Copies of this chain bind each other. A is one copy, B any other.
Amino acid sequence: MSFSHAVKRLLVGRKLASTQLGETLLPKRIALPVFASDALSSVAYAPDEILLTLSLAGMAGFAFSWQIGLVVALVMAVVVLSYRQTVHAYPSGGGDYEVATVNIGPSAGLTVASALLVDYVLTVAVSVSSGVQNAEAMLPFLRGHEGVVAAVMIALLMALNLRGVRESGTIFAIPTYLFMAGILGMTVWGFFRILVLGTDLQAETASWSVQSTSEYGAFTGFLMVALLARAFSSGCAALTGVEAISNGVPSFKQPKSRNAATTLAMLGIIAITMLLGIIALANRIGVKLIDPQGGSHYVTPTGEHVTTAGRTVVGQLARAVFFDSFPLGFYFIVTVTMVILFLAANTAFNGFPTLGSILARDGYLPRQLHTRGDRLAYSNGIISLALAAIGLVLVFNGSVTALIQLYVVGVFVSFTISQFGMLRHWTRHLRTETDPEVRRHMQRSRVINAVGLTLTGIVLVVVLLSKFMHGAYLAIIAMVVVFSMMKSIRRHYDKVAKEVALAGDADRVLPSRVRAVIFVGAVNKPLMRALNFARATQPSHMDAVTVAVDDDESRELVEAWEAENIDVPLKVIASPFREVTGPFVEYVKRLRTDNPRDVVCVYIPEVVVGHWWEHLLHNQTALVVRTRLHFMPGVMVTSVPYQLRSSVDADEKYAHDDPTAWRMVGK
């Protein structure tokens, strides 16, 4: 077992037969953490983004934090309710993409798909970056290297996911539950100390004031509305990932829809509780954040100006609530928050490849993304996602506040479109449905989705208006690019399909005879094998052809040929350009034109070697010749491999490796 193979085995683990696929179906208690970790973890940065945006208005801003929190919670509740309808109506896991395609049309579906693909990438980038930011509370030496650290973490997640869904499930369940327990416990214990024990809890920034040099300093009229809108839009980051479950229905245990819907409800309740809990407590004990880039900074009681950000809400809460009474609690909270954020990215690692393979099935992405690797996870999709996200964190050097500007847009694009789709879905079914019981149900669902559509539509507009210039336009450009790329891939596949479609019996005419042409480079065993195999097919004619590049060499060749007294005539072609392919291809072309009703079969002897670098030393000519001949109708190219000893163990290896590995061996 080669080293690379050993490493692969280590990272990726044993194969899983698809009969074992059942095993990888998830019970609710596992599905919740796997699909909800994204939505839940966002409570670790959504409040931060709300507060630091408000800080641009100076002290006046913070007063609005809890109201914004409430609005975000409301939107979340509505979205969760709407998606419960989707989960029931479309259990196949196509999620928003399927809803939009079926009810509105392919372009709408593709728009949703582009939005989701881009957002999956952003989910990974944002969650991991935020995780690193939180980690800095304990590991300050990370500061300044956020980008690189995040990139490494993403690479690790990729490896984990290449091991398959199930393992991820169990790995991610425990910390997710610890995180829920931690945050809720902290909130409860915090308020208990304040209200019951009457302790006067103070955040480290409670006594500090915040000054803003931004244009929002004057917090009135339009500017006030604009800032609140921005804060709200950033807060909506809390909603990202809610749709993940609707894409993941197939991974649920039976009854899939019911279980998925219940999980979704649980997710909504827990997320809202955590979000409001955190904001309320932060408000109560005077947590303040600043946005140095935006232009706000702290002023300490002693009047000194502090511009270093990096304090997180959760971090400040944990410090205030636990540090004096129960220090371990502080470290526990910070740790699980950090961990959950890294794991949140995993939601995308589940959703992205699933969606990718659905798109590949529909011909919007390269076909090979549809068939799975030798693991039951869609390796290709996982790898593409990881690479895109790594690029993103490196470019933005892992700054959450910068990345969050690109975020959210995509989510609400797909929310809105899919709500509209659901609306049509119910309307269509109501036309045919007669059973009053069912109709009542449908009407209820339609109302819910109508409300959802209105609300998400409004939010989308707000998000676009308030964030476009701050980076949202980048996300939109990305979506457009992805959209048109997928469109053109589909167009290509359609064109080809039309071109190769069968048209009557025209394709049934049999070529009258087969002319065999053996490509001769040297007189050796591979050549003999090629000759024998060619003979075995009993062609009507048989030529052996060699190209004379070097006079001495070709003379030796002819002598060797005669020495072996082979019963096939050897034709030597002159090569004016010292070049093998051109003349040979010309020869075959002439053969074709002289005998149009025959098919020419070119036999190329090839030696098969073990190591990729050995391939650089062999078959280059064969490769070029075959490629060139491919452009000639009525010609088939047969490579007759001759296996060298070194190739045998190589075969052993590739047998265990995944298909992509063979490509390397190929050329």
Q: Which residues in A have some Cβ–Cβ distance to B below 8 Å?
A: 15-19, 361, 366-368, 370-374, 376, 489, 492-493, 496-497, 499-503, 507-514, 522-526, 528-529, 532-533, 535-539, 549-550, 564, 575-582, 599, 601, 603, 606-609, 614, 616-618, 620-621, 623-624, 626-633, 635-645, 647-648, 650-651, 654-655, 658-659, 662-663, 665-667
B524 near A536 (CB under 8 angstroms)?
A: no
Chain B residues with Cβ below 8 Å from A629 are 641
A17 near B626 (CB under 8 angstroms)?
A: no
A526 to B492 Cα, complex, angstroms: 17
A599 near B666 (CB under 8 angstroms)?
A: no
Closest to A509 in B: B532
Q: Which of B513, B576, B638, B663 is close to A17, meaning CB atoms less than 8 Å apart?
A: B576
A376 near B578 (CB under 8 angstroms)?
A: yes
B500 near A666 (CB under 8 angstroms)?
A: no
A575 to B370 Cα, complex, angstroms: 14
Closest to A540 in B: B536
A641 to B599 Cα, complex, angstroms: 12
The 7 closest A-B pairs by CB, nearest first: A631-B651, A507-B528, A372-B578, A627-B666, A500-B524, A630-B641, A638-B638
A493 to B658 Cα, complex, angstroms: 30
A614 to B488 Cα, complex, angstroms: 11
Chain B residues with Cβ below 8 Å from A532 are 507-511
Chain B residues with Cβ below 8 Å from A524 are 497, 500-502
A579 to B18 Cα, complex, angstroms: 10
Nearest Cβ on chain B to A334's Cβ, whole angstroms:
41
Q: Which of B361, B508, B581, B655 is close to A659, meaning CB atoms less than 8 Å apart?
A: B581
A17 to B631 Cα, complex, angstroms: 25
Q: 19 more A-B contacts (CB under 8 A) besides A500-B524, A580-B659?
A: A16-B577, A19-B576, A372-B579, A496-B618, A499-B645, A501-B525, A502-B525, A511-B536, A512-B536, A514-B536, A533-B599, A536-B599, A537-B537, A537-B538, A603-B636, A606-B630, A631-B641, A636-B638, A637-B638
Chain B residues with Cβ below 8 Å from A507 are 525, 528-529, 532
Closest to A535 in B: B510
The residue in A578, A621, A632 that gathers the most chain B C-beta atoms within 10 A of its C-beta is: A578
Closest to A19 in B: B576
Chain B residues with Cβ below 8 Å from A512 are 536
Chain B residues with Cβ below 8 Å from A523 are 502
A633 near B643 (CB under 8 angstroms)?
A: yes
- Indicate whether A662 sits within 8 Å of B374 (C-beta atoms), given known contacts A606-B630, A630-B641: no
Closest to A549 in B: B371
- Indicate whether A624 sits within 8 Å of B537 (C-beta atoms), given known contacts A371-B579, A617-B367: no
Chain B residues with Cβ below 8 Å from A609 are 496
Chain B residues with Cβ below 8 Å from A577 are 15-18, 372, 374
Closest to A617 in B: B366
A641 near B651 (CB under 8 angstroms)?
A: no
Nearest Cβ on chain B to A559's Cβ, whole angstroms:
13
**What would be 11 A-B contacts, judged by CB atoms less than 8 Å apart?**
A361-B550, A371-B549, A372-B577, A496-B644, A510-B532, A514-B537, A533-B601, A627-B665, A628-B651, A632-B643, A639-B639
Chain B residues with Cβ below 8 Å from A606 are 630
Nearest Cβ on chain B to A5's Cβ, whole angstroms:
15
Chain B residues with Cβ below 8 Å from A633 are 641, 643
Chain B residues with Cβ below 8 Å from A581 are 659, 662
A373 to B17 Cα, complex, angstroms: 49
Chain B residues with Cβ below 8 Å from A528 are 502, 507-508
Closest to A525 in B: B500
A617 near B492 (CB under 8 angstroms)?
A: yes
A654 to B236 Cα, complex, angstroms: 54
Closest to A621 in B: B368
A631 to B641 Cα, complex, angstroms: 8
A372 to B643 Cα, complex, angstroms: 28
Closest to A658 in B: B579
A620 to B366 Cα, complex, angstroms: 10
B536 near A513 (CB under 8 angstroms)?
A: yes
Closest to A497 in B: B524
Chain B residues with Cβ below 8 Å from A15 are 577
Chain B residues with Cβ below 8 Å from A579 are 371-374, 658-659
- Indicate whether A564 sits within 8 Å of B631 (C-beta atoms), given known contacts A624-B659, A626-B639, A636-B533: no
B637 near A636 (CB under 8 angstroms)?
A: no
Chain B residues with Cβ below 8 Å from A508 are 528, 532
Chain B residues with Cβ below 8 Å from A607 are 496, 500
Chain B residues with Cβ below 8 Å from A636 are 533, 603, 638-641
Chain B residues with Cβ below 8 Å from A601 are 533, 537, 638
A655 to B581 Cα, complex, angstroms: 10
Chain B residues with Cβ below 8 Å from A642 are 500
A640 to B504 Cα, complex, angstroms: 20
Chain B residues with Cβ below 8 Å from A511 are 532-533, 536
A666 to B623 Cα, complex, angstroms: 7
Chain B residues with Cβ below 8 Å from A580 are 371, 659
Chain B residues with Cβ below 8 Å from A18 are 575-578
The residue in A500, A608, A628 that gathers the most chain B C-beta atoms within 10 A of its C-beta is: A500
Closest to A639 in B: B637
Q: Which of B361, B616, B627, B655 is close to A662, meaning CB atoms less than 8 Å apart?
A: B627
A16 to B578 Cα, complex, angstroms: 10
A641 to B366 Cα, complex, angstroms: 20
Chain B residues with Cβ below 8 Å from A529 are 507
A514 to B614 Cα, complex, angstroms: 30
A667 to B615 Cα, complex, angstroms: 14
Chain B residues with Cβ below 8 Å from A662 are 581, 624, 627-628
Nearest Cβ on chain B to A664's Cβ, whole angstroms:
9
A605 to B136 Cα, complex, angstroms: 56
Closest to A576 in B: B17
Chain B residues with Cβ below 8 Å from A373 are 579
A616 near B525 (CB under 8 angstroms)?
A: no
Chain B residues with Cβ below 8 Å from A522 are 500
